A = this chain, B = another copy of it.
Amino acid sequence: MEELSQAFKALGVLSPSGNTLSEPFPVNMMFEQKILGLWDRMFVQHSSLLAIKSPSLTPAAVFDASGHRKRFVDYVVRDTVTKEIFRADHYLRDWLSSHAGKGDTEGMGLEELSQAFKALGVLSPSGNTLSEPFPVNMMFSTALGPIEGAAAFLRPETAQAQFLNFKRLLECNNGKMPFGSASVGSAFRNEISPRSGLLRVREFTMAEIEYFADPLDSTHAEIDTVHAVVLPLLAAERQGTAGQCEKVAVKDAVEKGLFQNGIQPYFLARAFLFLERLGIDMERVRVRQHLPTERAHYSTDCWDIEISTSHGWTECVGVSDRGTYDLDCHNRAANTRLTVTVPIKPVKEKKLFLDIDKKLFGKHFRGESQELAQHLNTLDTEELGCVKKELEEKGEATVLTGGKEHTVPGEMLGVTLKEVTVCSRTYTPRVIEPSFGIGRILYCLLEHSFWSREEDENRVVFSFLPHIAPVQAAVVQLGASESAQREIVVKIKNILAERGIVCETDFSTASIGRKYSRFDEMGIPVVFTVDYDSPKNNSVTVRYRDTKEQKTIQDWQRVGLEVGDLLLSGHALR
């Protein structure tokens, strides 16, 4: 671990300080741009997703409706003497591992936690008693307007803006279903005890897709393009004590009924291919289904792509089935109809209709008549059925509105069954959400790319694929820095730069071996060395990072043609 953090420092990424906010390093930024660039090509452009950018600040009402204000919480306990705060499940887990053997505390509810703390007599690190576990909301709160502003939160996910703008997005897609939208941006979670590095920070970059589909047709038109992708699946029921992944082709997994729809496996497979093209070691990846206890409040099923690092299995991508939860919530809370209406082959249907004698009704209920009538008009088929039954049985109907019971006499209210022709169907779309934690993926990529040379463990290498490496090539010379060779170095650099290849040069007096080492530490895939003879015979040596193999290119003017395309590709260079 010491070795790794030294190497990170040399590479110029991450923070040595364990900052809880993300860290501004130029190399971090270059990596993030490369990762997001590939993501854009493999998801947004590949599937014509509608990309939007939405604000981080979000009015509180949105999270009232979405349930986040009430349910996006962690449970904490407080040292009754020092007043220190601890995240209850993490504290219990650590306490268990040092007192009573290991135990899984992830996803424990308030009740469960409370019982466990009591039963085990858990004390604070200072040996004091702890408070009862209680919930704290994980969103950052602020106010819109500098004085007495309206309550607002920083978004904990980019999803809500995509839900709220569903109608506009549908319009942009010419009214056609299904479709996906996408948003890349910061998300904010007010973690109780953020850890160092990029794994648990309070502000992080997410890339999220919301795929809107008809709940009656949850296939994906392109599923056959990923049929052959083999996923290391760890379904919920396999997660016992000795739970092992099983490697299953998407086609077989779908046929076996491992997924509740065709959209989740499609995106899991695409995400798998994405991680592979980034250069993640796919032998250290698994696709794990959430246990019912660990699902978010909006999720009906979720599969995570987890990547193994020295910090354990790390959730990097989640593909959650949010069902119709979110759009239903917003429809209930506001006067929106985030729904889709599609024409259907006309069918005759029997439907219940309400008939109010307005004159009598108005006289009887006076000031309350309008509200009551409005309420009656929103009753659905089932509720109308009850009213009908009551009218038939008792000659009157009891209606509850505004917390008050009203008795409506039968003479002013009727419910009749009529046959109508129905030409359209209105539904709330089901949402599948593939969500990517970009910083975590970057962290895993750094760890997986890192190794030391067998012959000398101090010689470390980052084996980034050329299209991901912040610097793709280095150009050096063997002779003195002011010479004909230097001219060739600059010209090679320019040839490569014109092709969009980022180049490093090094005119220092360090030995060539020392320079190669430094370039390996920077993860530069190839080095071009201009030899003593180059000005005479035009040749140049290319040295490949991973194998240290060297090859002669006869004409340095052809470096672009010889390796240029490869340097922009997703292929490893040998």
Q: State which residues 120-165 of A face B: CB under 8 Å.
A: 136-138, 140-149, 154, 161-162, 165
A145–B50 touching, CB < 8 Å: no
- Complex formed: what's the CA distance from A52 to B186 in Å? 15
| Residues of the B chain whose Cβ atoms lie less than 8 Å from the Cβ of A138 | 146
A168: Cβ under 8 A from any B Cβ: yes
A161–B76 touching, CB < 8 Å: no
- Complex formed: what's the CA distance from A85 to B147 in Å? 8
B172–A12 touching, CB < 8 Å: yes
Closest B residue by C-beta to A201: B55
A196: Cβ under 8 A from any B Cβ: no
B26–A202 touching, CB < 8 Å: no
A147–B76 touching, CB < 8 Å: yes
- Nearest Cβ distance between residue A510 and chain B, in whole angstroms? 13
| Residues of the B chain whose Cβ atoms lie less than 8 Å from the Cβ of A181 | 26
- Nearest Cβ distance between residue A27 and chain B, in whole angstroms? 8
- Complex formed: what's the CA distance from A137 to B147 in Å? 9
Q: State which residues 367-388 of A face B: CB under 8 Å.
A: none
With A149-B190, A172-B12 already in contact, the answer to whether A144 and B202 are too (CB < 8 A) is: yes
Counted per complex, copies of this chain come to 2
| Residues of the B chain whose Cβ atoms lie less than 8 Å from the Cβ of A149 | 190
- Tell me the dominant secondary structure on chain A's binding face: mixed
A74–B188 touching, CB < 8 Å: no
What total of chain A residues lie within 8 Å of the partner, measured CB to CB? 53
A21–B145 touching, CB < 8 Å: no
- Complex formed: what's the CA distance from A26 to B165 in Å? 10
B74–A52 touching, CB < 8 Å: no
- Complex formed: what's the CA distance from A24 to B166 in Å? 11
With A138-B146, A146-B136, A190-B146 already in contact, the answer to whether A29 and B57 are too (CB < 8 A) is: no
A21–B57 touching, CB < 8 Å: yes
A186–B25 touching, CB < 8 Å: no
- Complex formed: what's the CA distance from A203 to B161 in Å? 14
| Residues of the B chain whose Cβ atoms lie less than 8 Å from the Cβ of A52 | 24-26, 28-29
- Complex formed: what's the CA distance from A142 to B24 in Å? 21
B154–A203 touching, CB < 8 Å: no
- Complex formed: what's the CA distance from A172 to B471 in Å? 13
Closest B residue by C-beta to A134: B147
User: Contacting A154 at CB < 8 Å: which of B53, B142, B202?
Assistant: B142
User: Contacting A140 at CB < 8 Å: which of B24, B54, B57, B165?
Assistant: B57
A35: Cβ under 8 A from any B Cβ: no
- Complex formed: what's the CA distance from A51 to B31 in Å? 11
* A-B contacts, 20 listed (Cβ < 8 Å): A12-B172, A20-B144, A21-B55, A21-B57, A22-B53, A24-B165, A24-B183, A25-B168, A25-B172, A26-B50, A26-B52, A26-B169, A27-B172, A53-B205, A56-B203, A57-B154, A141-B142, A142-B142, A142-B154, A145-B192
* Closest 3 pairs (CB-CB, A-B): A21-B55, A24-B54, A24-B52
